Amino acid sequence: MIRRIGKILAALALTAASTVIGVTATAGAAHADGCYTWGRTLSEGMSGEDVRQLQIRVSGYPGYGAVLGLDGAYGPATKAAVTRFQQAYGLAADGIAGPNTFNKIYALQDDDCTPINFSYAELNRCNSDWSGGAVSASTAKFNARVTMWKLQAMRHALGDQSIVVTSGFRSYACNSAVGGSSTSRHLYGDAADLAAGPHSLCRLAQQARNHGFNEILGPGYPGHDDHTHVADKSYRTWSAPSCGI
Ligand SMILES: [Zn+2]
């Protein structure tokens, strides 16, 4: 509740600042969001850590088959992703991240910076400290967070019905125990195995193509008739033959 009030005050501060100044909003930072508070309106051509924080939150809106770079540079791809995010939530879709866009993001994120419908615990059923994988614990945890933002975008696109993650990060030990590939993206923390629920495995695999997942493996691919696997990767690997992928 206190967090919500803080968000509302931060929103009012941002709105007031943008009203007075017109184009460039500066935030009253006295009431910060529990995770992260933006202090200026962001648009194409700008750069910085605040841009990178924005890119993480809109990484699920890169467009079909694309992956948004998290480089802190607000280029055309970032503008397009912000525009898609705005469209998805009925905001004015100008590709400029101002108070309305940030307020929607604040409403979608928990204080630990995960999106509201996914959690670190859900993305790591292996251990408590994210250690023992192919990357450092902090990198694995960060990768999982980005994956959750992609899943949040996908969840919204599918009508805000639940998406259940049955396996996320795995240490080498956890990966071996379940017979995972020695090069599995689960070792990097960015993979998520999705169960059928409100949506079929094929529906999940098909929709995932729009949300920044370079690796999609589902029904018809060996070992994937009982889940749909989505992950990040440096090149595209999509295979779900039973789903037309
Ligand atoms: Zn998997």
Q: How far is the CA of 186 from the centre of ligand 1 (A)?
A: 6
**pLDDT score, position 178:** 95
Catalytic residues: 224
Helix (DSSP H) and strand (DSSP E) numbers for the chain: 8, 5
Per-residue pLDDT, 65: 98
The SS3 assignment for 193 reads strand
pLDDT value of residue 2: 42
Distance (Å, rounded) from C-alpha 70 to C-alpha 100?
A: 22
Q: How far is the CA of 108 from the centre of ligand 1 (A)?
A: 26
Burial of 177 (0-12, 13-18, 19+ CB in 10 A): exposed
pLDDT digits (tens, 9 = 90+) for 21-44: 334 444 444 446 899 999 999 999
Residues of the chain short of pLDDT 70, as ranges, are 1-32
Rounded CA-CA distance 139/194 in Å is 22
How many angstroms is it from 195 CA to the middle of ligand 1? 11
Spell out which residues have Cβ within 5 A of ligand 1, the ion: 191, 193, 229
The residue written with tokens 């204080």 in the block is 111
Cα 64 to ligand 1 centre (Å): 21
- Residue 183 is predicted with a pLDDT of 96
Contact 220, 240 (CB under 8 A): yes
State the distance from the centre of ligand 1 to the C-alpha of 206, rounded, in angstroms: 16
CA pair distance 145, 151, nearest whole angstrom:
10
Instruction: Write down the pLDDT at residue 5.
Output: 46
Sheet with 165-167, side-by-side order of all strands? 165-167, 192-194, 228-231, 215-217, 237-239
End-to-end CA separation in angstroms for the chain: 44
For 165, the 3-state DSSP assignment is strand
Closest Cα to residue 226, out of 245, 212, 209, 205? 205
Strands (E) in 86-243, as ranges, are 165-167, 192-194, 215-217, 228-231, 237-239
Which residues lie closer than 8 Å to 66 by C-beta, 6 or more apart?
A: 77, 212
Q: How far is the CA of 123 from the centre of ligand 1 (A)?
A: 12
Residue 208 Cα distances to 56, 61, 175, angstroms: 17, 11, 23
pLDDT of the residue at 182? 95
